[in-house]
């Protein structure tokens, strides 16, 4: 049954149905409504897990790490400055291979201070060793939480995941959303079976140090787990489709790509705007399509290359900036590497930073620039204030 | 793989980490002047000085060569010498 829910509330409803044993988070805009709702649910006994109040994001994820090491299913959520305050703990969580799921309500990083949306926060933690998946709409944001737990806790993977959805654009927007029945969720996502855990009866130290004789191999195994997670994500997405009717077996999703010459590539909610712009451009005879990236880590390079067969020009809608990088954005670098074909032009367009709206006209303009071979640039600069 | 998840290790595992290879200076004990007071054993941060047949003997498999025993020895019976490897 469809309900009209705010994105954050829908995510909270999804998390509740994942039955976390421990939730710890610190409120930050635009993530606040998720954890407010979960705190209410915990207070009302709707969520049986323990909600640990803390004084910072660093403490929140540290509490989560301890709880996870003790064998709990754990949840957190944050945004922007909160996420980078967690940065040290993020590396510890992934290095210790704890399957924590954390929602990122994507927000720009300061300075200058901005509470509005772009994707700088999660992409800044690109190399933190967490799986990163991005939602286009509220339904997808909801569904990806179930999938994330299933993948993270799989003993072939044992990695944490960011479920990313655009702050305000999705977190504060009301959309019709199907919240799965608890009985079906329980069937899809059984109770967490830890690989190992802190247990007084079977003593174990966790988070040990590794000398140069061992560290290298830890990192190698981390990488292998991340690679394995791609197929586990596909499996879990397919199984989700069978039970709930919404298939997530692909890590990239094409829209009107079949006979396209130009492909736009993006992460997250802007894909919705891009689809509408593509429909208009198609009516005007422009052969353009969209490749939506659902997973950024692991990066689905082979799947992306396959989906882009025959494409001659690629325009990346970048909602992040990698200062000093020739292509300017983190997504473009990955795509260019995956394509690795000099006959295909891959150009980046940094846009929508700090909450600047990306409108259908922006997408038309980007496609025009791409057709003319102009790119690797900021789109929509207000020249008059420079 | 089994222990790498969690960067986990069973209790007592530090015995496998033979820190003696870190050593640059090696403590040499002179048992002629040693008064067997036991300060060296109580001060050793690696807890690798053992009483064997009424003599304090460093376990070079674990001694990092920090020199605290030599510095604290009341009878000046311990000398740190550069260890050529």
**A102-155 pLDDT per residue, tens:** 999 999 999 999 999 999 999 999 999 999 999 999 999 999 999 999 999 999
Give SS3 for B80: strand
| Domain's final residue, options A221, A244, A267 | A244
Query: pLDDT over 70 for what percent of chain A?
Result: 100
Are B5 and A195 inside 8 Å of each other by CB? yes
| Domain's final residue, options A227, A244, A261 | A244
A237 and A264 housed in the same domain: no
A7 and A95 housed in the same domain: yes
A290 and A226 housed in the same domain: no
A58 and A197 housed in the same domain: yes
- Please tell me the predicted confidence (pLDDT) of residue A126: 98
Average pLDDT over residues A337-346: 95
B interface with A, Cβ–Cβ below 8 Å: 1-2, 4-11, 13, 17
- Please tell me the predicted confidence (pLDDT) of residue A209: 85
ipTM over 0.90: no
Give SS3 for B78: strand
Residues B62 and B76 sit within 8 Å (Cβ to Cβ): no
Nearest to B8 among A206, A217, A221 (CB): A206
- Please tell me the predicted confidence (pLDDT) of residue A63: 98
A223 and A273 housed in the same domain: no
A18 and A106 housed in the same domain: yes
CATH classification at residue A324: 3.40.50.920
**Closest alpha carbon to A267 in A153, A162, A181:** A162
A271 and A337 housed in the same domain: yes
Nearest to A221 among B1, B8, B17 (CB): B1
Classify burial at A119, counting beta carbons within 10 Å of its beta carbon; exposed 0-12, middle 13-18, buried 19 or more.
Answer: buried
Query: pLDDT over 90 for what percent of chain A?
Result: 97
Closest chain A residue to B3 measured between Cα atoms?
Answer: A196
CATH classification at residue A235: 3.40.50.970
**A198-233 pLDDT per residue, tens:** 999 999 999 988 888 889 999 999 999 999 999 999
Residue B85 has pLDDT above 90, yes or no: no
- Please tell me the predicted confidence (pLDDT) of residue A247: 98
Residue B2 has pLDDT above 70, yes or no: no
- Please tell me the predicted confidence (pLDDT) of residue B17: 83
Residues of A in contact with B10 (CB under 8 A): 203-205
A107 and A167 housed in the same domain: yes
Residue A173 has pLDDT above 50, yes or no: yes
| Separation CA A143–CA A166 (nearest Å) | 15
Residues spanned by the domain of A375: 252-385
**B16-59 pLDDT per residue, tens:** 888 999 999 999 999 999 999 999 999 999 999 999 999 999 99
A149 and A8 housed in the same domain: yes
Closest chain B residue to A216 measured between Cα atoms?
Answer: B4
Pairing of strands A131-134, A174-178: unpaired
Q: Which domains does chain B have, with CATH numbers?
A: 29-85 (3.30.70.20)
A235 and A260 housed in the same domain: no
A164 and A18 housed in the same domain: yes
pLDDT band at B1 (very low <50, low <70, confident <90, very high): very low
Residues 6+ apart with CB under 8 A from B24: B65, B82, B83
Average pLDDT over residues A290-318: 97
Domain count of the fold of chain A = 2
Residue A348 has pLDDT above 90, yes or no: yes
A77 and A173 housed in the same domain: yes
| Domain's final residue, options A184, A214, A244 | A244
**A232-266 pLDDT per residue, tens:** 999 999 999 999 999 999 999 999 999 999 999 99
| Separation CA A156–CA A90 (nearest Å) | 20
């Amino acid at each position: 049954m469809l309900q009209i829910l705010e994105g954050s509330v829908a995510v909270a409803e999804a998390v509740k149905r994942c039955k976390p044993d421990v939730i710890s988070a610190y409120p930050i805009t635009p993530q606040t409504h998720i954890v407010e709702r979960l705190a209410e649910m915990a207070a009302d006994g709707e969520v049986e897990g323990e909600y640990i109040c803390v004084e910072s994001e660093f403490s929140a994820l540290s509490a989560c790490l301890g709880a996870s090491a003790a064998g709990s299913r754990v949840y957190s959520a944050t945004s922007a400055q909160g996420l980078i305050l967690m940065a040290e703990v993020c590396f510890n969580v992934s290095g210790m291979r704890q399957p924590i799921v954390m929602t990122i309500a994507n927000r720009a990083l300061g300075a200058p201070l901005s509470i509005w949306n772009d994707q700088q926060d999660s992409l800044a933690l690109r190399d933190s060793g967490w799986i990163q998946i991005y939602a286009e709409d509220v339904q997808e944001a909801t569904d990806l939480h179930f999938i994330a737990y299933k993948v993270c806790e799989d003993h072939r993977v044992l990695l944490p995941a960011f479920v990313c959805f655009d702050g305000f654009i999705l977190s504060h927007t009301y959309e019709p959303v199907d919240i799965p029945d608890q009985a079906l969720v329980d069937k899809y996502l059984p109770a967490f079976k830890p690989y190992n855990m802190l247990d007084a009866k079977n003593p174990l130290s966790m988070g040990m140090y590794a000398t140069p004789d061992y560290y290298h191999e830890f990192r190698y195994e981390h990488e292998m787990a991340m690679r394995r997670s791609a197929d586990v994500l596909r499996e879990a997405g397919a199984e989700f489709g069978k039970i709930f009717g919404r298939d997530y077996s692909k890590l990239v999703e094409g829209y009107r790509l079949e006979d396209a010459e130009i492909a736009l590539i993006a992460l997250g909610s802007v894909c919705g705007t891009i689809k509408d712009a593509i429909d208009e451009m198609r009516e005007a005879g422009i052969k353009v399509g969209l490749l939506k990236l659902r997973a950024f880590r692991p990066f689905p390079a082979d799947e992306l290359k396959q989906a882009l067969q025959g494409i001659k020009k690629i325009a990346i809608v970048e909602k992040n900036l990698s200062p000093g990088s020739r292509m300017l954005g983190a997504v473009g670098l990955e795509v260019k590497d995956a394509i690795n074909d000099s006959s295909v032009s891959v150009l980046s367009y940094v846009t929508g930073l700090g909450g600047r709206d990306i409108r259908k006209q922006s997408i038309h303009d980007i496609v025009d620039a791409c057709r003319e071979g102009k790119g690797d640039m900021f789109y929509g600069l207000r020249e008059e204030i420079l | 793989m089994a222990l790498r998840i969690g960067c986990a290790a069973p209790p007592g595992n530090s015995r496998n980490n033979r820190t003696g290879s870190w050593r640059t200076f090696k403590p040499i004990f002179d048992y002629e002047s040693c008064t067997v007071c036991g300060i060296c054993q109580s001060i050793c941060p690696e807890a690798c000085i053992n009483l064997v047949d009424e003599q304090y003997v460093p376990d070079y498999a674990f001694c990092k060569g920090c020199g605290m025993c030599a510095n604290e020895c009341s009878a000046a019976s311990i000398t740190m010498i550069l260890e050529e490897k």
